[in-house]
């Protein structure tokens, strides 16, 4: 019987053991440990801009960050409002050893519609920054969406997203300023 799984060359996976060992070390004291430290319940303020430097909305936000799949990823779920209407979203955030970068899959009830944004990026001094893109009907070129997570301290996190024009200019689009609930 032939099929996709039966025709795979499993010899190329022989080097997966070092990735497993790196993950175990990372979970104990590295990047995955740092991500897991974000787990908990959070509350704060969500701000949205549709034009550069013109604040369009400011609303309370609450969120939960949970470690999932044995610490491989964190799941960020949040609820807020935008222009008085309920707004919610979630992001799966992780670090990929094979690609050597942070990765995020994000969906929400306003910005993404029915799309899923996949973003990748590097560490920053106090967290990480990932870049994805979005587009659709009426948009001749896709725009970038850069999300930066800044861990100010163990009880204060700022998540800022920027619209990135096709030419590269950035403008702040959203900001969540979180404080850990106790």
Please give the pLDDT value at position 53: 87
Domain membership flag for residue 4: no
In DSSP terms, 92 is beta-bridged to: 75, 105
Q: Cα dist. 114→74, 89, 159 in Å?
A: 22, 12, 22
Angstrom distance (rounded) from CA 35 to CA 94: 8
Angstrom distance (rounded) from CA 120 to CA 137: 24
Q: What is the pTM of this model?
A: 0.87
CA 20 to chain centre: 23
Q: Compute φ and ψ for 135, nearest 5 degrees.
A: -170, -165
Domain membership flag for residue 3: no
In DSSP terms, 86 is beta-bridged to: 81
In DSSP terms, 161 is beta-bridged to: 147, 174
Domain membership flag for residue 2: no
Q: What is the 3-state secondary structure (H, E, C) of 51-111?
A: ECCEEEEEEEEEEEEEEEHHHCEEEEEEEEEECCEEEEEEEEEEEECCCCEEEEEEEECCC
Q: Contact, 91 vs 76, CB < 8 A?
A: yes
* Range(s) of the domain holding residue 72: 10-180
Domain membership flag for residue 84: yes
Domain membership flag for residue 1: no
The total number of residues written for the chain in this structure: 182
Tell me, what CATH number does 174's domain have?
Answer: 2.40.128.20
Pairing of strands 117-124, 40-51: unpaired
Domain membership flag for residue 174: yes
Please give the pLDDT value at position 13: 42
Domain membership flag for residue 139: yes
Query: For residue 152, what are the contacts with CB-CB under 8 A and spacing of at least 6?
Result: 126, 158
CA 161 to chain centre: 10
Domain count, the chain: 1
Nearest to 40 by CA among 67, 61, 59: 67
The model's pLDDT over 81-95, given as tens digits with 9 standing for 90+, comes to 988 999 999 999 999
User: Would you write out the chain's pLDDT as a tens digit for each of its 182 residues?
Assistant: 444 444 444 444 445 556 668 889 999 989 999 999 999 999 999 999 998 889 999 999 999 999 999 999 999 999 999 889 999 999 999 999 999 999 999 999 987 788 899 999 999 999 999 999 998 888 889 999 999 999 999 999 999 999 999 999 999 999 999 999 98
């Amino acid at each position: 019987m032939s099929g996709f799984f039966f025709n795979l060359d499993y010899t190329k996976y022989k080097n997966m053991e070092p990735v497993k060992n790196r993950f175990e070390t990372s979970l104990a004291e590295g990047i995955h440990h740092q991500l897991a430290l974000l787990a908990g319940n959070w509350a704060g303020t969500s701000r949205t801009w549709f034009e550069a430097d013109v604040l369009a909305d400011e609303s309370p936000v609450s969120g939960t960050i949970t470690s999932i799949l044995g610490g491989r990823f964190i799941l960020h779920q949040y609820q807020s409002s935008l222009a008085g209407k309920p707004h919610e979203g979630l992001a799966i955030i992780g670090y990929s050893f094979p690609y050597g970068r942070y990765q995020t899959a994000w969906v929400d009830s306003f910005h993404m519609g029915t799309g899923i944004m996949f973003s990748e990026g590097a560490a920053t001094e106090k967290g990480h920054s990932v870049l994805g893109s979005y587009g659709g009907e009426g948009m001749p070129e896709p725009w970038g969406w850069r999300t930066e997570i800044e861990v100010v301290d163990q009880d204060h996190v700022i998540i800022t997203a920027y619209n990135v024009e096709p030419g590269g200019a950035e403008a702040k689009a959203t900001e969540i300023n979180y404080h850990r609930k106790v």
